[in-house]
Amino acid sequence: MGKIISTVIDIKPKRVNNRLMSFFFSTPKIEDVLSEARKLLKESKLKAAADLLKKAQKKNLFHAELCLAWSQIHAQKGDQSSQRAAILEFIAEHPNDVLHHLKVVDFLLSENDHHNAQYFLTEIKRRFPLSGFTHTSQALLHCEREEYELAAGSLLQKQEVKTLDDGDTKLILRIRKGIAGKPGNNALKLLSDAQVRHLLLRYAYERFESLGGDCEFGFHQRRHGKEPLSLFRWAGMPRERMVELFNNQLKDFASIETAALKPNAPGLEGGESLEFYFHDIKYEYYSHTSTTKKSVNFVETEVDILNKLRPHFLMLTRKLREDLEDGEKVFIYKSRPGLSIENCIELHDALCTLGNNKLIIILLKEEGKTDFEVIRPNLLIARVTSWWGGGASEYTHPITKEWDFIIERAYQHFVTHYPELDLI
């Protein structure tokens, strides 16, 4: 029998970018197209990016952001005329929306294209002469160019048409940092403005986190429009237990074995004002919950209520642990009883078991003792003339000015030693 000779032909397929195949043979989502286009542009694969965008458009995928992707392709090719045309096409999607227009400026700043950012911003300012947003964008552009005196001038111009807001705070911080003690007339005028001081104070209050003592600092934060979540904002525990808690790195806090409900004393309304406090027995922790007799279902038992509340306090405990590990907050502890320096250092040492943490302790004034004392670069003591109990009726209490002064001074102290606290 003759030999049967079989020939096997090995056909090797051409290498195909699997990442792109799914785009060419399916109907992708617009966000996936944009993400892939950005990756290709970062790799300087202009043709592949252009093919991807064309394919998307053939599949009737239209989105204003595609115009910005095309503008990047034209910019990398050096075709400024086509780049601007693509950006104008983006703007045309919402011609009367100033914030949509300003997305172009933010996009160009992200591309470090300051020249075109200024070109389009000038046009947008002509189109929307009464908008305050354009002045904020102009101040940002000046800050990117390290033109801090001009940036201050832009924010002063904004004040002529609109009030400054929290969105301007980080720009003000950049200006203050950028002038490095050599402010021009615009910077001096801006930084001495009462509204600017209020914005910076609001920002500072947000950088502090309460360790309790009682709820007073929580009300001061509310007075400045800040409502941060915090384990101790509406709570407290004895200082000795707090030292133990931090030395134990928050282990076993609010566990099934230690968590309990503690009803407060009802008022004269037949118990309707009764509030259920969350209580950790081991660490003698008590916290308001805003859970009252009237706010729960009448068939719910205290065990049911506790099972609903405990996950919230476990979440706050995890958040506190993360804040301690990050070391980006300034912790503030109010003590009605007087404390020795040794007591303060003991609490601070315990606080630092998880990270390099900053602490300011608030005490009552004492004769012969300074009102503001630096124990360590990251440990301060401040003293006030009196306490107040909280509530809107006391927001005008004279002591509020003392707290504002303390927060401003403490924040400046910590920023001087730890510049990373100014997250700008």
- Model confidence at 93, pLDDT cuts 50, 70, 90, reads very high
* Region at 243 (left for phi over 0; alpha for psi -120 to 50; beta for the rest): alpha
* pLDDT of 71 higher than 50: yes
The per-residue pLDDT for 26 is: 60
Backbone φ and ψ of 364, nearest 5°? -80, 150
- CA 419 – CA 300 distance, rounded (Å): 50
Q: Which two tokens stand for residue 89?
A: 């096409």
Q: Report if residue 401 sits inside a domain.
A: yes
Give the residue among 339, 343, 344 at the shortest CA–CA distance from 359: 344
In-domain check, residue 75: no
Domain count, the chain: 1
pLDDT at 275 (0 to 100): 87
Answer positive or negative: Cα dihedral of 343, 345, 346, 350.
positive
Rounded distance between C-alpha atoms, residue 369 and residue 384, angstroms:
12
Interval 238-272: pLDDT, tens: 999 999 999 999 999 999 999 999 887 554 444 55
The whole-number pLDDT of residue 5 equals 39
Q: Which two tokens stand for residue 385?
A: 């003339």
Each residue's pLDDT tens digit, 97-114: 999 999 999 999 999 999
Question: Is residue 396 a contact partner of residue 403, using CB atoms and an 8 Å limit?
Answer: no
186 found inside a domain: no
CB burial class (10 A; 0-12, 13-18, 19+) of residue 157? middle
Task: Please write the tens of the pLDDT for every residue from 312-323.
Answer: 999 999 999 999
* Percent of the chain with pLDDT strictly greater than 70: 89
Q: Does residue 243 sit within a domain?
A: yes
Q: For residue 51, is it within any domain?
A: no
d(Cα 323, Cα 159) in Å, to the nearest integer?
35
Tell me which residue range forms the domain holding 371: 204-421
Question: What integer pLDDT is reported at residue 390 of this predicted model?
Answer: 52
Question: pTM value?
Answer: 0.78
Inter-CA distances, 238 with 173, 202, 288, Å: 37, 29, 16
Distance CA 140, CA 145 (A): 9
Per-residue model confidence (pLDDT) at position 30: 83
Q: Cα 160 to the chain's mean position, in Å?
A: 28
Q: Is residue 140 part of a domain?
A: no
Residue 332 lies in a domain: yes
Does residue 381 lie in a domain region? Answer: yes
What backbone phi and psi angles, to 5 degrees, belong to 285?
Answer: -95, 135
What is the pLDDT at residue 7?
A: 38
